[in-house]
Structure 1
Amino acid sequence: MATLFYTGCSLDGFIATRDHDLTWLTTRSIESERDMGYGTFVPRIGAAVMGASTWQWMLDAGESAFMGGVPTVVLTHREFEPVEGMRFTAADDDDDALRRIHAGLVVAAGDKDVWVVGGGALAARLAGLGLVDEFWVQFAPVTLGEGQPLCPGHVELRLLDVVRNGDFVCTRYAVEESRP
């Protein structure tokens, strides 16, 4: 079992536009069932955590069933409609609460992995607490010029794997050390 930050990223280091849009990710081809593709990744997942902007994008894009029923925590100060299997909490400002949430997700995931779905700031925060084991980053051949950064924090990584999948360069890194 591991906690994984799996995300797409532009070549200039952004995971979403300034207004949290991800549609640019669909402008290039990637094969879901090939190496490091979404279809090969998701069966590993037993629980997930994400930020409010990621959840809002999923709702707006009609992807609210995207999580496939795995226990999911959305860290938010916004009000959302209840969804079965999802918990909405504002505990993201409290390190001890984040540790408890992560511990609960690890238990819920059983022998599967925990996915940090979205939010570079969330990934950086969890990595800074020593709660993220790996970064899986799919680099799309596009630049955005500005937007939501991949990881707005200092995280030392060690490259574990790199493959080409369609137009994407897919990478997997072990987290070596993190600093807030």
Structure 2
Amino acid sequence: MTRAIFYTATTLNGFLADDQHSLDWLFQVPGGEGGGDDFQRFLAGIGVLVQGSSTYEWVLEHEELLAHPEKWQEFYGERPTWVFSSRDLPAVPGADIRFARGEVVDSWDQIRASAGERDVWIVGGGDLAGQFADAGLLDEIRVSIAPATLPSGAPLLPRRIGSERLELTDVRRAGAFAELTYRVMSPDRSVHVG
């Protein structure tokens, strides 16, 4: 069964990105560039990615993907990517990028179908993951906590999700990071989403 997983890294004080939506802070942490064996196993189970416009635009700029579209394939492969945005954004040449507007629930059936038998990775940002949680579509949160802080920025999950909806299922050390995995219960608090 297809699950929606928010897998991200955050600072110790709960920010995903700085005030300019940059992840440069993450790449300064040893191991922050990702790509280890655990991440590769996770990625092998992913059929589709979902991103918000700020995340997508940062990746476009940081990786210079419009000039070097082959980098997209190196990291994401042939997986479809859904980008939620209220603005028109450029697509990476040769990549299967599908733009969506409006409520996540309105696109969920198409997103799930494009994942096939694999899971959906909600890459970011936190507000988009929160929209999935609000709609009862978020199954799991995996957060790697980095040994870094920021004075301000984009919060991990800018909404209230009570402890009655989150069940800690795993804790592990990954180099300098502490990784926490939570199963997310539906908003009615009685039923597991996935």
TM-score, length of structure 2 as denominator length: 0.82
Residue in 2 aligned with 1:38? 39
**Percent identity for Structure 1 against Structure 2:** 37
Residue in 1 aligned with 2:124? 118
**Is 1:28 the equivalent of 2:29?**
yes
**Is 1:140 the equivalent of 2:127?**
no
**Is 1:78 the equivalent of 2:87?**
yes
| Cα distance between partner residues in 2 of 1:105 and 1:48 | 9
Residue in 2 aligned with 1:109? 115
| Cα distance between partner residues in 1 of 2:64 and 2:141 | 23
Residue in 1 aligned with 2:192? none
1:32/1:40 contact within 8 Å kept: no
**Is 1:170 the equivalent of 2:182?**
no
**Is 1:68 the equivalent of 2:77?**
yes
Gaps of 5+ in 2: 66-71, 189-194
Q: Which has the larger radius of gyration?
A: 2
Deviations 1:47-66 (A, max 9, x none): 11110000000011116404
| Cα distance between partner residues in 2 of 1:178 and 1:138 | 24
Gaps of 5+ in 1: none
TM-score, length of structure 1 as denominator length: 0.88
Per the TM alignment, residue 90 of structure 1 is displaced from its structure 2 partner at its CA by 2.2
Deviations 1:135-154 (A, max 9, x none): 00000000112110000112
Structure 1 runs of 4+ aligned residues shifted over 6 Å read: none
Structure ranking higher in strand proportion: 1
Secondary structure of residue in 2 paired with 1:154 = coil
2:10/2:143 contact within 8 Å kept: yes
Closer, same or farther: CA 138–122 of 1 in aligned 2, 3 Å: same
Per the TM alignment, residue 177 of structure 1 is displaced from its structure 2 partner at its CA by 4.3
- The letter of the residue matching 1:28 is V
Closer, same or farther: CA 11–63 of 1 in aligned 2, 3 Å: farther
| Cα distance between partner residues in 2 of 1:58 and 1:171 | 24
Count of aligned positions: 172
Deviations 1:38-97 (A, max 9, x none): 322211110111100000000111164043221111111222223431112222xx3xxx
